[in-house]
Amino acid sequence: MTKAETIRAQSTASGAPAAEAISAAGLTFSAKDNKGRELTILDGVDLSVREGEFVAIVGPSGCGKSTLLNLVAGLIPCAGSKLKLFGAPVTGIDPRIGYVFQTHALLPWRTVLGNVEIGPEIKGLPATERRRQAVEVLRQLGLEGFEDHYPAQISGGMRQRVGLARTLVAGPEVILMDEPFGALDAQTKLLIQDIFINYWESHRKTVLFVTHDLGEAITMADRILVMSARPGRFKATYTVDIPRPRALAQVRRLPQYTTYWESIWEDLKDEAKTALLADGSGR
């Protein structure tokens, strides 16, 4: 057995089953490309994310990671849905889901607090209650004291946290995150990862997290799913056997961190090469 096979087998053997938050069996999804040709984006995706689990997806560019999140979010209709949320087919947008993107369009004429209050305001919550909820989530994300600032007055990392707060204030049971820290500089990204993992470890909501950053996946997730080049399907699963709470900087110094990194990269690099060649050939 190679090192990758051994660690993968160990990963698969552990992990007690719990209630499923998100599941898919043999999910296939196609769309027409800009020349009208049928493009198979996902092919035979099997997915099971348990309630309260933090699952990261890594895969080469264009393999269908965002498409999968969009399907789970109900943003793309999925005929005869093989995708389930808490055991029921996904039929459209579900208020139990929160979606965090790489960048957030904050309203420049609203303060930090005003931006986070948008959701509760739309829900019709009374002013005092929506303020209480927004203030609390801002505090948990380390933005206490910045409530009255406008987006232009705060850093990019803080703006990203405001966007995150805007999603989290709704109290989603499932949080979909599509490269949420991908646009941040390296140091800001490390700080935000720490802030978010603290938040997550005290709330334990289900998270499905797409990233290109293997270190981010290993330090934060309970499980990592490795996707093949398009058409995307899962080719390997890793259970990250590192105890919580995690101090992310320390996790990066553990010997297991390097073992996971090398093993996942071993799975990923051929897929990344395939994706790169497909890009070049206009496939």
The binding site for ligand ATP (CB under 6 A) comprises 31, 33, 39, 41, 59, 61-67, 230
Torsional sign, CA 49, 231, 238, 179 = negative
Distance CA 184, CA 194 (A): 14
Nearer to ligand ATP, 39 or 170 (CB): 39
- Name the minimum Å distance from CB 159 to ligand ATP: 21
Nearer to ligand ATP, 28 or 61 (CB): 61
Distance CA 51, CA 81 (A): 20
- Name the minimum Å distance from CB 47 to ligand ATP: 14
Nearer to ligand ATP, 7 or 225 (CB): 225
Nearer to ligand ATP, 68 or 192 (CB): 68
- The residue ranges of DSSP E strands in 8-120, in sequence order, are 20-32, 38-50, 54-58, 83-85, 88-89, 97-100
The H or E element that residue 177 is part of is strand 174-178
What is the three-class DSSP state of 49? strand
- Name the minimum Å distance from CB 66 to ligand ATP: 3
Nearer to ligand ATP, 33 or 129 (CB): 33
The H or E element that residue 142 is part of is none
Nearer to ligand ATP, 111 or 228 (CB): 228
Nearer to ligand ATP, 64 or 119 (CB): 64
Q: What is the layout of strands, in order, in the sheet containing 38-50? A: 38-50, 20-32, 83-85, 88-89
- Name the minimum Å distance from CB 145 to ligand ATP: 35
Please count the other Cβ atoms lying within 10 Å of the Cβ belonging to residue 62: 17
- Name the minimum Å distance from CB 41 to ligand ATP: 4
Three-class SS of 206-236 = EEEEECCCHHHHHHHCCEEEEECCCCECEEE
Instruction: For the chain, report the end-to-end CA distance as a whole number of angstroms.
Output: 34
Scanning the chain, the segments in alpha helix (DSSP H) are: 3-13, 65-72, 112-116, 118-123, 127-140, 156-168, 186-203, 214-220, 248-251, 255-281
